[in-house]
Structures are given as C-alpha cells and as structure tokens.
A and B are shown apart, each in its own frame.
Chain A
Amino acid sequence: MELELTEEQRELRDGVRRVLEAQCPPALARAVHERGETGAALWRQMGALAWPGIAIDEGLGGLGLGAVELCLVAEELGRAVAPGPFLATATQLAPLLQEAGASPLAQPLLRRIAEGALTGSVALAEDERWEPARVACRARRAGQGFVLRGRKSGVFDGATAEEIAVVARADEGLGVFLVPGGAAKATPRTLLDPTLALADLVFEDVAVPAERVVLAPGAAAERAAVRALEVATVALALATVGTCRRIFETTLDYVKLRRQYGRPIGSFQALKHRLADMVLAVERATALGYFAAATLAEDDPRRAEAAALAKAEAGDCQRLVVAEGLQLHGGLGFTWEHDLHLFLKRAKCGDALLGSAVEQRARLAHRLGLGAA
C-alpha cells in the first residue's frame, strides 16, 4: 500500500493550492459572510482550469483522472473555505451520473460539467439523514415517466443548482430522476457558514419524463446511489481535513508568535502537547482520507467501510482542532474580525453534513457485526 501522492498528484495539489491562494483568500469567504458574495468568478475560473471534470472521462471532455485527484481538489477547497458549486456538482452529481454508464442522458450532462457549463446537485437526504435505504420520497409511474412527491432536506446548492438528481422510491426500489432546478419548491437554509448553500426541497407531483430518468428504479440504482454517496462522503471528509489543517497551521503560527510572560506561548509544554495531539489528529484523518480515496479509485471492496471511517475521522479531527484552535487563539479568535471563525464554521459543516462521525460510527458498528441481532 502506497498512501503517498505521486509526483503528478503532488503537482496537481500544489497547482490547485496556488490558484486558490490567489483567487480564494479568506477575504472571499468573508465577503460571502458579510456581503452575500457568491463566488461565481471563482467557479468560472475552476471551469477554465477543468477542475469540475477532473474525474470525468477524457472522451467527455474531462481530465480523465480519478477519485484521488477529485478528493485532492476537495481538500484544497476545504483548506481555502472556497464557496461555490464544486462539491455539489463535481463530488455529488457527477459521480452519480458516472454510475449510469453510457447513458444518453448522463453523458451530455457530464460533458457540460467538465466544461464548467453546468451546476448540479443530488437530492438524497430526508430528515437530514443521508441514507439511501431510508429514502421515502415517492416516484410514481405516470405513463412512460414518473411523478415525484416528497421532501428532501439539506440539498447542497438546492436552490441554485441547474440540474438536480433526485433519489426517490418507486415500487421496484430506488431510482434516480433528473429535475431542473426550480422544479421543486426550494427553501434556502440560512447557515452559520454561508460559503456552503443548503436548501430543503418539496416535490409536489413533479413530472419526470422517461428521458430524464438517470437510473431506472431497482437494485442497480440503489447500489449506484450508495456508491456515489461514498465518493461525495470521502470528498467532504478530505475537504474537512483540509479546513482542519488550515486551522491547525494558523494556530501553530499564532502560538509561535504570541508572547506572554516574556516568551512565545508555544514554548509552554501544556500547549505543546495539545499541538502535538492536533497534528496527530490531522495526519491520521489525512491518511485515512487518502486510503478511502484510493479504495474508491481502485473500486476496492473495502470502499464503504473506508469512506465511513474517513468521514468519522474527519469529524473527530474537527472536534479537536476547532476546540483547540479557538481556545489557543485566545480572545483574538473570539472576534468576528479575525478570519479563524470562517474556518471553524466550515469544519463544523463538514462533520454535520453527509452523515456525522456519530452516524458513521454507528454504521461501522453494524458493518462490524456489533449491532442488534
């Protein structure tokens, strides 16, 4: 097992970081918080650099790389607290469309995503649970097509995405249905971190013609929804780790700089040990995130387990790093003016969305045979 980036992956990561340092400084996230800036220019730039299509086939205009590279971009976006439709479009919708294979519906959409010409999302969660097995939203057959009725919650970019793939239950099982943005009644959520956008959707008999069925209801569609969710989960896990690494680095810089009692506070052992624990938390979450990304890239049978563990670890990592980062910055980190809170809030989002550490651990307990008989 070689869990280190290849030369090409390192170059990619460094390149993405350079662009984001220039185009997505904390001032951008702050502008989103304070002035409702949307980051549209950043998204255009990402499209020009072909990031949305990083894991889309070259034949469809993508870069033809894999889950590892996709997750590396997500990690850097997390590090930069980047706003915009990348997570929803490239880590949620695109992987689900890819599960549809050579579909005449999915392929043109993937081509447009790769061009940066389409934003999209996946409407899966209900009652804040990202679990395909619990989906209750109905897909009723109507002629050749379907009619959707039900509620979805916490849909990334749910009020703005141009195309939304809805996971809904028909008589034959789960299916995936594509609806244009605006087809459902969207209620945007007001988030503590507006660099992410969530909306709750209500489908009141939304008609889906046959040619907009991404995956026909049945076991294969359910499996596809699960697999695509694994990709989105690992991408968000690494995005969260990226945010945590930034908090850690900022905190480390601060304790080296801040002086009290005539010396840097980072020279006190009580703080040193906490920073050692922080770096351990960040490094182990990174390593498990990369392992999970590699299982996706190689379609290894451990991918479900690895994705759940990566997300659980990212959640634990933010738990420690957010608390210590805020505490060790003292009064400074407690102010609105300091950028720290931009990162802290994003890190919390990273745990709460797509299944928190608590939920992932419960899932792992079942997988390991520790659940109810």
Chain B
Amino acid sequence: MRLSFSAEVEAFRREFLDWLAANRPDPAEMAADPARSSAHLPGWSRRWARRLFDAGWLVPGWPPELGGRNAGPTEQLVYLEAMARAGVPRTTNPQGLGIIAPSILDYGSPDQVRDYALPILRGERAGCLGMSEPGAGSDLAALATRAEPRGDRFVISGQKVWTSGANWADFCFLFCRTDPDAPKHRGISVVLVEMDRPGVVVKPLPEIVGRDHPDLNEVFFSEVEVPASQLVGKLNDGWAMANGSLAHERGMVWLEGVLHLQNAATRLIAEARRRLPAVGEVERGVHAERIVRAWGDAQAARCLGYRGFAKLVRGGSAPEQALMKLMSSEARQRLTLVATELAGASTLDATPQLGPFSEWSPLEQYFVTFGGTISAGSSEIQRNIIAEKVLGLPRG
C-alpha cells in the first residue's frame, strides 16, 4: 500500500508529459472546430490520432504497430491520468478506440484489421456501435435486427436506437441476429456495415440538452446487403463479443469517470466558497453537508478505482471494477444535483454559469448525467450484475 508509483512509472509519466507538451492539439483549433458527435473526426482530431499512433502514445499497452509501446498496465493508467489532467481528449471516437478497434483486433480477420481497426487507430475512420434496439435495451440479447446469410452475403433488416455517433460514423459494428431459432444468446453475430450502403437510414434523436448537436440516433436497415466477409469472428458467436465489448468499455472508462468527478468536485467547492458567505448559518450548513458528501464521493471513487486496479494488476479479482460504473455515474449525478441546488433560482437560467462539467447550465449538466446512469448498462442492471456476479445471489 503506497501513495505513489515506482520511480520507473513516474519517469514514464514525465516522458509522456514532455511529449504531450510538444505535440498536443492546438486549443484554438479545437475550439474553432469542436467534435460534433462521438464519431466526428475534425481535422485536428485526425492529425492528433495520427501523431499519437505514430509516437506509440495511442494505446501504450499495445505493440508499436498498433500505436503503442508495450507498456505495462500501471504505465497505461498514469498515461490516461496525465492525458485527462491535461484536458486533452484522447480521441473524438471513444467507441471506436475503446471498443470497436480492440474487438476487431481480438476477433476480426486480417482484412478487417487493415480496413477497420487500423484506420480507427490512425484517426482515418470512425465507427459506431450498433447494440440497443427498441425492444432490446437492458436485455440486449433480445435484439431482433436480422442478418440473414444468403449465399456469400448477409441481408440486414431491422432497427437500432441510441446509436451514438451514427450520424457521423463511417461504419457500424453491428450486433444482429443470424440464427432466429437458436436460444437468444446463441444466435447473435457481429457484422461490419458501411454507413453509406443502400438501405441504411440514420435519423438523429436530439437529446434532452444540446438539441442542435445530436449524438444519439435511430438507425434503420432495410434489406442492406453486405459481403459475408464482413462477419466479425465466428457466426453466432457475437454474445461473447458483446460481453467483451462492455468489458473493454468499463476497463477504460472508470479512470475518466474518477478524474471527471474530481474536477467537478473542485469546481463545486470553488463555487460554494463564492456563494456560501452570503447565506445564513443554518442554510450554509445544509449546503455544506451536501457539498462535503459530493466531494467525499469523488475521493471514494478515486480510492475505490485505484484499489480495484491494483488488485487486477496483481492478477486478483476485483469487485471494485464492477462497482465503479455504478458508483461514479451516480456520484456525478448527485454532485450536479447539489450544484443546481447551490445555484438556487439561477439554476433555471439557460445560460452557462457554474461549470463542474462543461458549457451547460447547472440544470442541463444534471440532466446530462442521466446519460451515465442509463447507458452502457443502467444503474439497475449494474446492481443486478453486482448482486449476481459479485455476490453470487441466485437469479430471480
């Protein structure tokens, strides 16, 4: 148990920070052309991905030919820490870098690695992840989008929903049903579908805030034909990939959640120091209790995450990993709620002010956090997973 990492790991951090200082994307350029969705690659984002890839700083744990430098897991952790603290986005296509590319590298053919995984890593192409459907949200295995094998091709019909970035993506990593007669988990496959294929229609779904820049979409497939070579992995073996995908997602996301929370807590406290002197003693106490709690949540998330990480690095199991998504998404929600209440009636103004999270007003920031407690396995599903997989409680 110790508060710092080894000297080698700290040297690694310094090496990255030096490189980052010299190579980070130009903030003015980023501000002038912000990413408009989770699959939008503005010019600066493409060039940034390429620099990271070429320098071996895209995924340090991978080998150089995949944009890495064969670094160990602890080095990966300090790399992600350093990047987030510097306020530099690692990618503007997080599903591509975090889920789709690793899944193709694990399961895909050499051609798919060449045509999809590497272009994602080099910032040349963006992917979206076709999972949820109107009838398959938490119960993902109930998905009904059909990919019928017909000779040397698949014919795809059905509908996806909540597909992040589909309006900007070049292709979709699509979960679909290839055997309607098999038990529901065993008839699912993954097919790569170019978004410009005839029969693919994307309809953006403006969100509760930020109506002008939708990231979520409905995606309709009607008789979309793709070559059989677009199948990723084995036929009807897609469920393993769905679990793997989410594992990739959760493996990467906890640290980001923690750092986000910590930044937000720091800003909340700064705002509270500004506002609280003007209020009466008892009222100040009520706010202070909530704020200290929100700040404590951020510290708890950090300690929980690092503890789970240390266990994994030692090759043990870590219940903390299963807790992190639930914990940090709900903590973020509580924190933004406290911020809205601290802001009083001015939280109703649509103009941005107190900003734990971004350019939105406090109330909008609060609403946005529901994206975290609903998507990628809702809080209710997370509690089921914890109860069944971690605690071993019987399925109902």
Question: Which chain A residue shows the least CB distance to B269?
Answer: A368
Give the interface residue-count category, chain B: 35 or more
Question: B5 interface residue, CB < 8 Å from A?
Answer: yes
Question: B277 interface residue, CB < 8 Å from A?
Answer: yes
CB-based contact B296/A313 at 8 Å = yes
Given contacts A3-B306, A6-B1, contact A365 B288 (CB under 8 A): yes
Give the interface residue-count category, chain A: 35 or more
CB-based contact A313/B311 at 8 Å = no
CB-based contact B396/A287 at 8 Å = no
Given contacts A4-B311, A313-B300, contact A370 B387 (CB under 8 A): no
CB-based contact B288/A283 at 8 Å = no
Question: A323 interface residue, CB < 8 Å from B?
Answer: no
Given contacts A273-B380, A365-B292, A373-B277, contact A284 B300 (CB under 8 A): yes
Please encode chain B, from 2 to 40, with 1 for each CB lying within 8 Å of some chain A CB and 0 for all others.
111100000000000000000000000000000000000
How many angstroms between the C-alpha atoms of A232 and B311 in the bound complex? Answer: 27
CB-based contact B292/A370 at 8 Å = yes
CB-based contact A2/B2 at 8 Å = yes
CB-based contact A372/B1 at 8 Å = no
CB-based contact B391/A252 at 8 Å = yes
How many angstroms between the C-alpha atoms of A370 and B392 in the bound complex? Answer: 43
Please encode chain A, from 124 to 168, with 1 for each CB lying within 8 Å of some chain B CB and 0 for all others.
000000000000000000000000000000000000000000000
Instruction: Give the contacting residue for A276; candidates B2, B272, B320, B387; CB below 8 A.
Output: B387
Question: Which chain A residue shows the least CB distance to B277?
Answer: A373
Interface residues of B in 310-339 (CB under 8 A from A): 310-311, 314, 316, 319-320, 323, 326-327
- Chain A hits for B393, CB < 8 A: 252, 255-256, 264, 266-267, 271-272, 275
How many angstroms between the C-alpha atoms of A298 and B1 in the bound complex? Answer: 10
**Minimum Cβ distance to chain A for residue B179 (Å):** 30
**Minimum Cβ distance to chain B for residue A84 (Å):** 26
Question: Which chain A residue shows the least CB distance to B316?
Answer: A4
Question: B303 interface residue, CB < 8 Å from A?
Answer: yes
How many angstroms between the C-alpha atoms of A286 and B323 in the bound complex? Answer: 13
Give the secondary structure class of B's interface. Answer: helix
Question: A226 interface residue, CB < 8 Å from B?
Answer: no
Interface residues of B in 271-324 (CB under 8 A from A): 272-273, 276-277, 281, 284-285, 287-289, 291-293, 295-296, 299-301, 303-304, 306-307, 310-311, 314, 316, 319-320, 323
CB-based contact A275/B311 at 8 Å = no
CB-based contact B390/A370 at 8 Å = no
CB-based contact A298/B2 at 8 Å = yes
CB-based contact A68/B1 at 8 Å = yes
Question: A364 interface residue, CB < 8 Å from B?
Answer: yes
Instruction: Give the contacting residue for A372; candidates B284, B295, B306; CB below 8 A.
Output: B284
CB-based contact A290/B1 at 8 Å = yes
- Chain A hits for B344, CB < 8 A: none
Question: A191 interface residue, CB < 8 Å from B?
Answer: no
Question: B388 interface residue, CB < 8 Å from A?
Answer: yes
CB-based contact B323/A283 at 8 Å = yes
- Chain A hits for B288, CB < 8 A: 361-362, 365, 370-371
- Chain B hits for A369, CB < 8 A: 269, 273
Question: B71 interface residue, CB < 8 Å from A?
Answer: no
Instruction: Give the contacting residue for A2; candidates B289, B304, B306; CB below 8 A.
Output: B306
**Minimum Cβ distance to chain A for residue B171 (Å):** 37
- Chain A hits for B392, CB < 8 A: 256
CB-based contact A368/B295 at 8 Å = yes
CB-based contact B284/A275 at 8 Å = no
- Chain B hits for A255, CB < 8 A: 393
How many angstroms between the C-alpha atoms of A287 and B306 in the bound complex? Answer: 9
Question: A294 interface residue, CB < 8 Å from B?
Answer: yes
CB-based contact B320/A269 at 8 Å = no
Question: A44 interface residue, CB < 8 Å from B?
Answer: no
CB-based contact A370/B1 at 8 Å = no
Please encode chain A, from 1 to 22, with 1 for each CB lying within 8 Å of some chain B CB and 0 for all others.
1111110010000000000000
Instruction: Give the contacting residue for B388; candidates A9, A263, A272, A286; CB below 8 A.
Output: A272
CB-based contact B277/A294 at 8 Å = no
Given contacts A256-B393, A288-B300, contact A272 B320 (CB under 8 A): no
Question: Which chain A residue shows the least CB distance to B273?
Answer: A369
CB-based contact B269/A297 at 8 Å = no
Instruction: Give the contacting residue for B304; candidates A269, A273, A287, A295; CB below 8 A.
Output: A287
Question: A293 interface residue, CB < 8 Å from B?
Answer: yes
**Minimum Cβ distance to chain B for residue A215 (Å):** 28
Please encode chain B, from 82 to 99, with 1 for each CB lying within 8 Å of some chain A CB and 0 for all others.
000000000000000000
- Chain A hits for B293, CB < 8 A: 361
- Chain B hits for A352, CB < 8 A: none
CB-based contact B1/A284 at 8 Å = no
How many angstroms between the C-alpha atoms of A364 and B300 in the bound complex? Answer: 14
- Chain B hits for A283, CB < 8 A: 304, 307, 319-320, 323
The 4 closest A-B pairs by CB, nearest first: A272-B387, A4-B310, A287-B303, A3-B307
Q: 15 additional contacts, CB 8 Å, given A4-B1, A271-B393?
A: A2-B1, A4-B316, A9-B1, A68-B1, A272-B383, A276-B326, A276-B386, A284-B301, A284-B304, A287-B306, A298-B3, A361-B288, A364-B292, A368-B269, A372-B284
**A to B CB contacts below 8 Å, 18 in the list:** A3-B303, A4-B307, A4-B314, A4-B316, A6-B1, A263-B396, A271-B393, A273-B387, A276-B387, A284-B323, A287-B304, A291-B299, A293-B1, A370-B269, A370-B276, A370-B284, A370-B291, A372-B284
